[in-house]
């Protein structure tokens, strides 16, 4: 084996580690690592500020492999730089329990900044990273104390740029002038099904420039390392976000596969692997071979990262002496913890029959928290006035005002969701975003990834039922509540009154192990007796007894959100007839099912088989609580355009219907 220099030797090591891992797994995508290895090597060896000894160093540069199917590129780099991935880990690529899953997973493998694979998500996460860096720098940096100062790099493929979310992300980033964001575009004209010109012929240069980006093109990304380095250096110095189109050959070095879709998503096979290694002048007798010179070379580069972090720690110490309060605030923010007494201004509400829309109370809670949590950061997809997501004493985040905390995401729901994930992953901010509940469909892929990564993102979803009224079925959510509850690790909280809404915000801020979605009303809801005493603990447990039975318990009335008032009014009517009824508010069934069996039995005694479950959404959301003899009142069809009161009557969300359902359930139990 021979190589012309250490750079070529290092690049071919990345390529062959990737080839060998895919071959051993008999599964994976070798073409991208083979083609992108030069640009990745130049970036990681010359520009990326990182310390393998501390993968969570706050001021590190971020690298996002948006084209996550090429995961072996990242795993090879992490192995060579000493992030703890061993040769054996690489050999376990795509196997049960390995540290090298098919696509990079945040929290699973040291050095992986975000979970990627669904195309377009990574580049949009990267926009969120860049947003957070700029906000924290604007808030905390002071003259001669540049504490927050790092880049965000992402490697994308043609598929990322075909996905619609990338258009939203690039439009937003260009508008915001996020100059510390650099996209390396692996431009090879090949996608999984064949040449990209079958479906993708747009001019990326014009697209980037139209969105306000700096664009450069490298004609030979296969081996012109100097051109790649010059492009990255130019991108770093430009005040705009940069897209570097680097022309590469997918599967470079494989004579029978390079430049074709055959190199994209399948192992090369033994014969082609041997031919590729011959082309690289590589040792064919051993798989996962790393020359000793390469090991020493990467170790040497890694020491620069440790030195950079040590220098940053020294700057941080100096900063703490000059600006102790700011430094303490920054350290707390970076830790993800909340300030002392962060919830001191949260309001409580007494009984009020006319009440409030829960979206209105959500806005009040948000503003109370914003006063004491200076890194609460977010906004809405052009619905801030309707979602009540504006921090009223804070300014707008913009290129001219990067310390602003109100983000105008524009009508970009999908990108908003993925940018929120990037903000949460970066750390230092507490992100939230809002839109109508029915439009949660637009950002569902991003919500799913937030849940997969267990990110503390808060979604403010308003207009949560047919109570939207005249806007009609396009704006009236039916299946969304049930669908969101099906996402593992996502909590959907649907509060019934003002105090439950405040409690929902409290839970969402205090518990940072998974995302939380708030489903809020447009219409006013009364404030219930004792909810100011019961809601905080009740919401945290997912369900609680809001109104106890006054006689021997005969039936359970179980409801969430705006339908709790139906249960409360039906309870009065039933008890007037001598039927003991209990009203159970169930704002979050997922949390309730996590409680002890004893608590679940206390709230919903299994001996009480007569039940009515009420929710103005698809009955799949709560129907399981009706058990064998209960009745579920929901809506399994689309709504209509009419005043909300008319819709509720037409679709059976009335007290008389609840009473009739209760008596039906009681008869079922009697005759069972």
Residue 583's SS3 state is: strand
631 forms bridges with which residues in the sheet?
612
For residue 279, say whether it is annotated as part of any ligand binding site. no
Distance (Å, rounded) from C-alpha 431 to C-alpha 388? 15
Of 442, 586, 588, the closest CA to residue 515 belongs to 588
For residue 430, say whether it is annotated as part of any ligand binding site. no
- The dihedral built from the CA positions of residue 84, 86, 89 and 90, taken in this order, carries a sign that is positive
Distance (Å, rounded) from C-alpha 47 to C-alpha 229? 8
For residue 117, say whether it is annotated as part of any ligand binding site. yes
For residue 355, say whether it is annotated as part of any ligand binding site. no
Distance (Å, rounded) from C-alpha 230 to C-alpha 603? 66
Distance (Å, rounded) from C-alpha 135 to C-alpha 375? 9
For residue 54, say whether it is annotated as part of any ligand binding site. no
Contact at 8 Å (CB) between 570 and 589? no
Write the DSSP string, 233-256. Answer: HHHHHSSS-EEEEEE--TTTT-TT
List the Cα angle 199/156/129 in 5-degree steps: 135
Residue 346's SS3 state is: coil
Write the DSSP string, 368-423. Answer: HHHHH-TTEEEEESS-HHHHT---TTS-B--SS-TT--EEE--S-HHHHHHHHHHH
For residue 29, say whether it is annotated as part of any ligand binding site. yes
Of 396, 400, 426, 421, the closest CA to residue 410 belongs to 396
Q: How far is CA 283 from each of CA 10, 286, 290, rounded to the nearest angstrom? A: 14, 7, 10
For residue 359, say whether it is annotated as part of any ligand binding site. yes
Of 125, 114, 38, the closest CA to residue 71 belongs to 114
To 10 degrees, the CA torsion angle through 24, 27, 29, 31? 60
For residue 405, say whether it is annotated as part of any ligand binding site. no
For residue 522, say whether it is annotated as part of any ligand binding site. yes
Of 235, 251, 254, the closest CA to residue 243 belongs to 235
Q: Which two tokens stand for residue 6?
A: 């250490």
Residue 295's SS3 state is: helix
Distance (Å, rounded) from C-alpha 329 to C-alpha 140? 9
To 10 degrees, the CA torsion angle through 311, 316, 321, 327? 180
For residue 386, say whether it is annotated as part of any ligand binding site. yes
145 forms bridges with which residues in the sheet?
142
For residue 159, say whether it is annotated as part of any ligand binding site. yes
Assess whether 293 carries a catalytic annotation.
Answer: no
- The dihedral built from the CA positions of residue 25, 28, 31 and 36, taken in this order, carries a sign that is negative
For residue 226, say whether it is annotated as part of any ligand binding site. no
List, in order, residues 6 or more apart from 115 with CB less than 8 Å away.
Answer: 68, 103, 104, 105, 106, 449, 452, 453
Residue 280's SS3 state is: coil
Strand 491-493 relative to strand 516-519, pairing: parallel
**Of 133, 163, 168, 413, which is the active-site residue?**
413
Contact at 8 Å (CB) between 633 and 613? yes
Contact at 8 Å (CB) between 494 and 585? no
For residue 69, say whether it is annotated as part of any ligand binding site. yes
Distance (Å, rounded) from C-alpha 623 to C-alpha 619? 5
Q: Please report where in the chains the tokens 């041997």 appear, as a residue.
A: 274
Q: Which two tokens stand for residue 122?
A: 């990574």
Rg from Cα positions in the chain: 28
Q: Which residues are annotated as a binding site for thiamine diphosphate?
A: 69, 117-119, 159, 188, 264, 439
Q: Which residues are catalytic?
A: 413
Q: Which residues are annotated as a binding site for substrate?
A: 29, 264, 359, 386, 463, 471, 475, 522
Q: Which residues are annotated as a binding site?
A: 29, 69, 117-119, 158-159, 188, 190, 264, 359, 386, 439, 463, 471, 475, 522
Q: Which residues are annotated as a binding site for Mg(2+)?
A: 158, 188, 190
């Amino acid at each position: 084996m021979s190589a012309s220099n250490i750079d070529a030797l290092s690049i071919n090591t990345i390529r062959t580690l990737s080839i060998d891992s895919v071959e051993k797994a008999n599964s994976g995508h070798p073409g991208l690592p083979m083609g992108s290895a030069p640009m990745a090597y130049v970036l990681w060896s010359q520009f990326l500020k990182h310390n393998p000894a501390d993968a969570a160093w706050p001021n590190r540069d971020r690298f996002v492999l948006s084209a996550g199917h090429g995961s072996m590129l990242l795993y090879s780099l992490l192995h060579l730089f000493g992030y703890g991935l061993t040769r054996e880990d690489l050999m376990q690529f795509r196997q049960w329990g390995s540290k090298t899953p098919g696509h990079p997973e945040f929290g699973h493998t040291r050095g992986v900044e975000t979970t990627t694979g669904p195309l377009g998500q990574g580049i949009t996460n990267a926009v969120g990273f860049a947003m957070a860096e700029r906000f924290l720098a604007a808030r905390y940096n002071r003259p001669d104390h540049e504490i927050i100062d790092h880049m965000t790099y992402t490697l994308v493929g043609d598929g990322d740029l075909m996905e619609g979310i990338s258009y939203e992300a690039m439009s937003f980033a260009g508008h915001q002038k996020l100059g510390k964001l650099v996209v390396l575009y692996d431009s090879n004209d090949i996608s999984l099904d064949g040449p990209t010109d079958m479906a993708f012929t747009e001019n990326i240069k014009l697209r980037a420039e139209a969105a306000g980006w700096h664009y450069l093109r490298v004609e030979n990304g296969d081996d012109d390392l100097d051109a790649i380095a010059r492009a990255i250096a130019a991108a770093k110095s430009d005040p705009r976000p940069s897209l570097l189109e680097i022309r590469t050959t997918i599967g470079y070095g494989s004579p029978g596969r390079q430049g074709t879709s055959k190199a994209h998503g399948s192992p090369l096979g033994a014969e082609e692997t041997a031919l590729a290694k011959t082309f690289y002048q590589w040792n064919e007798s051993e798989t996962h071979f790393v020359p000793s010179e390469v090991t020493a070379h990467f170790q040497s580069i890694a020491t620069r990262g440790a030195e950079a972090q040590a220098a940053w720690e020294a700057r941080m110490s100096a900063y703490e002496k000059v600006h102790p309060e700011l430094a303490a605030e920054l350290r707390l923010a970076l830790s993800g913890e909340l300030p002392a007494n962060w919830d001191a201004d949260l309001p409580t509400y007494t009984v009020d029959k006319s009440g409030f829309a829960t979206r209105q109370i959500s806005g009040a809670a948000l503003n109370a928290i914003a006063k004491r949590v200076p890194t609460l950061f977010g906004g809405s997809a052009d619905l801030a006035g309707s979602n009540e997501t504006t921090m009223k004493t804070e300014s707008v985040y913009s290129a001219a005002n990067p310390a602003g905390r109100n983000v105008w995401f524009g009508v970009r729901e999908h990108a908003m969701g993925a940018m929120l994930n990037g903000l949460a992953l970066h750390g230092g901010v507490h992100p939230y975003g809002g839109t109508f509940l029915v439009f949660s469909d637009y950002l569902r892929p991003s919500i799913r990834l937030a849940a997969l990564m267990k990110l503390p993102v808060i979604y403010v979803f308003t207009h949560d039922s047919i109570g939207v009224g005249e806007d009609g079925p396009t704006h009236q959510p039916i299946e969304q509540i049930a669908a969101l509850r099906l996402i593992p690790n996502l909590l959907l909280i649907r509060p019934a009154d003002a105090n439950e809404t405040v409690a929902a915000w409290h839970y969402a801020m205090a518990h940072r192990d998974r995302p939380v979605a708030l489903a809020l009303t447009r219409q006013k809801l009364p404030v219930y007796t004792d909810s100011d005493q019961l809601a905080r603990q009740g919401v945290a447990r997912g369900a609680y007894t809001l109104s106890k039975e006054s006689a021997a318990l005969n039936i359970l009335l179980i409801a969430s959100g705006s339908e709790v008032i139906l249960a409360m009014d039906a309870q009065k009517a039933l008890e007037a007839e001598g039927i003991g009824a209990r009203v159970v508010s169930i704002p979050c069934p997922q949390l309730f099912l996590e409680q002890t069996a004893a608590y679940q039995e206390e709230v919903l005694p299994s001996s009480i088989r007569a039940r009515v479950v009420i929710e103005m959404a698809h009955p799949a959301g709560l129907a399981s609580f009706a058990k064998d003899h209960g009745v579920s009142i929901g809506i399994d069809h689309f709504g209509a355009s009419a005043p909300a009161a008319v819709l509720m009557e037409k679709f059976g969300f009335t007290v008389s219907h609840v009473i009739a359902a209760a008596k039906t359930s009681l008869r079922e139990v009697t005759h069972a």
